[in-house]
Amino acid sequence: MKKVIVGLLLLAINVNVFAQEASETASSTSFDLGMDIQSRYVWRGIQLGGNSASAQPWAEFTTGKLSIGAWGAYNLGGLGIGNEADLYATYSISDAFSVTFTDYFFPGEGSGGYFPYNAGHVFEGMVSFAGTEDFPIGIFVATNFGGAIKYDDNGDEKSSYSTYVELSYGTSIGETEFGLFAGGVFADDNGYYFTDGEGIINVGISAAKEIKLSDSFSLPVNAKLILNPDSEDIFLTFGFSL
């Protein structure tokens, strides 16, 4: 009888633990989607979308520490430049550290189609540190590790290991969140970032807040002042999220 009681107790404990784990897994699983409208598509200090606004839809599935998503950019001026359809996966090692792998694809720009993976794709690995209370500086390093993004002397496609590094700092004043950022690139021998091999390309300040339109709806808006010292360009962008 004692063995039966002990067995039932162990079974109850195991069922309870399993239920708790299942509940935690379910609560950490989510799916979200939305779209940003930006006055210009400026990425890491480079204007990619021409002189037109850009619609940037996205969708993301998260379970536990893993997020898998898709992100796009489409030129609202009707031109075939600045269009993009990316896939990515992010794994959060901790609250501060994460690793992301991204497949960038640029349709309509001589890509030759999505399959096979050819000149339209660029593969990037990124390691990010979000900062902590004691050290509120964010850092990320992103390196191209594959994709047909360079041609050798024989005209064959090969990869280049262009590497981008960015530092950032965030704070808030009232209901507005501000950010400072500075980014540069090195090993850019094929000019992926339009440099001669290295340079500071992305320095600026960002601001974001929510504008209350009704008791039940607020519109997130953002603005950025971006300077690219290497190309001597400056951009002021504005956007909102749906």
CA distances from 200 to 147, 167, 228, 233 (A): 24, 12, 7, 12
What are the tens digits of pLDDT across the range 11-35?
A: 343 434 444 444 444 458 999 999 9
pLDDT, mean of residues 201-213: 96
Q: What is the 8-class DSSP label of residue 116?
A: S
Annotate 142-155 with b (16+ C-beta within 10 A) or e (fewer).
bbbeebbbbeeeee
What are the tens digits of pLDDT across the range 111-152?
A: 667 886 656 788 999 999 999 989 999 999 999 988 766 666
CA distances from 207 to 48, 132, 141, 192, 213 (A): 21, 20, 23, 28, 19
Average per-residue pLDDT for the chain: 85
In the block, residue with structure tokens 């779209």? 35
Phi first, then psi, for residue 191 (nearest 5°) are 70, 30
Q: For residue 72, list its beta bridge partners.
A: 85
Contacts 24+ apart (CB under 8 A), 124-130: 125/99, 125/100, 125/101, 126/99, 126/100, 126/101, 126/102, 127/97, 127/98, 127/99, 128/97, 128/98, 128/99, 128/100, 129/96, 129/97, 130/95, 130/96, 130/97, 130/98
The band of 221, judged by pLDDT with boundaries at 50, 70 and 90, is very high
Q: What is the 8-class DSSP label of residue 4?
A: H
The tokens describing 233, both together, are 């360009």
- Give percent of the chain above pLDDT 70: 80
58 vs 25, more confident: 58
Amino acid at residue number 147: G
For residue 18, give the H/E element and its range: helix 2-27
By DSSP bridging, strand 137-146 and strand 218-228 are: unpaired
Domains and CATH numbers, the chain: 30-241 (2.40.160.40)
Report the alpha-carbon distance of residue 40 to residue 75 in Å, rounded: 9
What are the tens digits of pLDDT across the range 97-119?
A: 999 999 999 886 566 678 866 56
Q: Which of 47-56, 105-114, 151-160 has the highest mean pLDDT?
A: 47-56
The band of 50, judged by pLDDT with boundaries at 50, 70 and 90, is confident
Angle in degrees, CA 224, 225, 228, rounded to 5:
120
50: nearest Cα among 27, 17, 87, 78:
78
pLDDT for position 37: 97
